[in-house]
Structure 1
């Protein structure tokens, strides 16, 4: 018996990304300096969650060994250059200044205290 495609389970959205940290007291201020709104937890907790629209970026304390970055989290923002300036004003060091990519995004990268790479991006308007 064939099922109706409208009844097939489907992926709806990404709820959260959870990153491990060796030092929550260092990681939380890093994310707050970039403007991430704290939803739960904090610098002295073992689990912290930041709200990103309808999704969440979570941090979990991991004391079992060294934490190494594992890829990249891409976060869409309203103003890439504004977030870049905010990072610089907080004494953070992005990997490079915002630039326009050939795939149609303006973006920059910054690495968190545990080596996780964050990309702050915004789609560029298409020229018609």
Structure 2
């Protein structure tokens, strides 16, 4: 069998804070799950997105050290103005700015923020014309 991507995992120091960021990006994450050591959600199309606390990771990998960023998750915001709006919302909520919104040469409005654990969150939308 050819391997296929089935899950993207995020390791977080603060589940509730991480959930807040991803709720702002449209994910339906139940508040009561923010206290769990592991949580996952199935996205449209079947891909799963999972969160584990640092402590959970260390429970089976004692030498685990959080990195300077994990997977890059890219979110299509639908329209260029929405990239700017979502960027402002997320940076206003405490996400670090990695790259302010700009019109990229490849035809997208594009920006990058970091979630509370340093994971990259790309925001994009096709430019008109």
The answer to whether the superposition gives a TM-score over 0.5 is: yes
Q: What residue in structure 2 maps to residue 76 of structure 1?
A: 76
Q: 1:49 to 1:82 in 2, by over 3 A?
A: farther
Aligned residue among 10, 18, 21 for 2:12: 21
Between structures 1 and 2, the one with greater helix share: 2
Output the CA distance in 1 between the equivalents of 2:101 and 2:5. Answer: 25
Report 1 or 2 for greater relative contact order, CA contacts < 8 Å, sequence distance ≥ 6. Answer: 2
Conserved 8 A contact 2:10-2:71: no
Q: What residue in structure 2 maps to residue 108 of structure 1?
A: 111
Q: 1:92 to 1:21 in 2, by over 3 A?
A: closer
Pick the structure with greater CA Rg.
1
For structure 1, the 5+ residue unaligned runs are 1-8
Q: What residue in structure 2 maps to residue 4 of structure 1?
A: none
Q: What residue in structure 1 maps to residue 21 of structure 2?
A: 30
Conserved 8 A contact 1:73-1:117: yes
Aligned length: 117
Q: TM-score, normalised by structure 2?
A: 0.67
Displacement of 1:48? 2.7
Q: TM-score, normalised by structure 1?
A: 0.68
